[in-house]
Amino acid sequence: MPEHTFRVNGEQVTVNVADDVRLLWVLRDVLGITGPKYGCGINVCKACTSHLNGRAVNPCAIPVGRLQPSDEVTTIEGLATGEDLHPMQQAWLDHDVAQCGYCQPGQIMAAVALVEQVAAEGRAITDEDLDGIRNICRCGTYFRIREAIRAGAGNM
Ligand code: FES
Ligand code: FES
């Protein structure tokens, strides 16, 4: 079985799996990192949203064989700093966003990547930016998600 080395939440990992196994299954089933959720498995629902080198990606669509040793994968488990929640996680709590919670790790990871991208462009977040988050929430928490992103962005 081929060996694949990359970084996850600040630590180097090596896994022995076939090249075409998708990263979501490597994270969840091989590494035991279950924050990224399985929803559709075909890059549609966005429940698995995580970061690859700081950008939001859907690991259900990334074959592990594409990863390089220097690639940094960040999941919801890697967002907090020790005991300190990331400002976006705190905003989620303050706005009581979650209902069933299943989509929420992906929503938060998408939000953080969006806010960081907008900040790198030197501008404030817009409604159009928020419309660009396509993560599905079957519980319909979209209004609270938008409120929390604006609040979290103000503290990032
Ligand atoms: S499980 Fe990855 S997009 Fe749906
Ligand atoms: S909170 Fe239930 S799917 Fe979003």
pLDDT tens, position by position, 66-90:
999 999 999 999 999 999 999 999 9
154 lines ligand 2 (CB under 6 A): no
For residue 66, give both structure tokens: 């594409």
Pick the closest to residue 60 from 42, 78, 47 (CA basis): 42
Are the C-beta atoms of 90 and 115 separated by less than 8 Å? no
Can you give the pLDDT at residue 125? 95
Say how many residues make up the chain.
156
Cα separation, 111 vs 83, in Å, equals: 21
Cα separation, 92 vs 108, in Å, equals: 8
User: Using one digit for the tens of pLDDT, what is the confidence trace for 28-45?
Assistant: 999 999 999 999 999 999
The ligand with the least distance to the CA atom of 136 is: 2
Positive or negative torsion for Cα 124, 125, 127, 132: positive
The ligand with the least distance to the CA atom of 100 is: 2
Can you give the pLDDT at residue 118? 97
104 lines ligand 2 (CB under 6 A): yes
87 lines ligand 1 (CB under 6 A): no
**Ligand 2, atom 4: closest residue by C-alpha:** 137
Can you give the pLDDT at residue 99? 98
For residue 121, the tally of other CB atoms under 10 A from its CB is 9
Report which ligand 1 atom has the smallest distance to the Cα of 59: 2
Structural domains for the chain: 3-77 (3.10.20.30), 87-155 (1.10.150.120)
Cα separation, 147 vs 111, in Å, equals: 11
CA of 101 to the centre of ligand 2 (A): 5
**Alpha-carbon separation of residue 48 from 69, 127, 137, 147 (angstroms):** 22, 23, 12, 22
Kindly report whether the global pTM for this prediction surpasses the value 0.95. yes
State which residues of the chain have pLDDT below 50. none
2 lines ligand 2 (CB under 6 A): no
Can you give the pLDDT at residue 73? 98
107 lines ligand 2 (CB under 6 A): no
Can you give the pLDDT at residue 133? 96
CA of 53 to the centre of ligand 2 (A): 26
